[in-house]
Each structure stands twice: as structure tokens, then as C-alpha cells.
Amino acid sequence: MLLLGNATIMSGVGYYFEDKLRGDERKVLGFFSFVVFAILVAIFEGMYRIRNKYSMGHVLTPNVKNAKSKVTALSPAQVDA
């Protein structure tokens, strides 16, 4: 949603400076804004993923093939109990 909004702003800035102001050189500000937005999103997403990589700890998943106990399916009544 943010990407779509920023692309809309970029196209609006380009339209305003190109059509309304008859080719003003500042029309590149829309593209510059979009590039800066994309770079900031990439940086903050990377920081978030690196920082929260092990926030819940390492969760081991059981190996069903080598399980010692037999795996059985539960009915909805058994789950509710």
C-alpha cells in the first residue's frame, strides 16, 4: 500500500511539474522521492530482520518420520476437551 501510494505521488509530481508548469526541471523530485523511499524501506526492513532473527529463540520442529510415539489425528471434540 505504501509503495502504491508513493508511486502515485511520484506520478502526480511528474504530472504537475511537466504539464501544469510547462516542463519545470523539478519533475525529477518525484522519482528522487520514490528512490529514497525504496532505499529507506530496504534499510529498515533489513535492520528489522537482522534484529529480530532470534527474538523467539530457535524453535525446533519434531521430525515425524523418526518419532517414537505414533502420531494420531484428533477429532474436533478431542481438541475442545
Residues 64, 36: Cα–Cα separation, whole Å:
47
CA distances 39 to 4, 9, 30, Å, are 15, 16, 14
CA distances 54 to 14, 27, 58, 61, Å, are 43, 44, 6, 15
Average pLDDT, the chain: 82
∠ at Cα 39 (31, 13), nearest 5°?
Answer: 20
Grid coordinates of 31: 522519482
The reported pLDDT for the residue numbered 68 is 63
The per-residue pLDDT for range 39-48, each reduced to its tens digit, is: 999 999 999 9
The reported pLDDT for the residue numbered 44 is 95
Which stretches of the chain score pLDDT less than 50? none
The reported pLDDT for the residue numbered 46 is 92
Which sequence spans correspond to the domains of the chain? Answer: 1-81
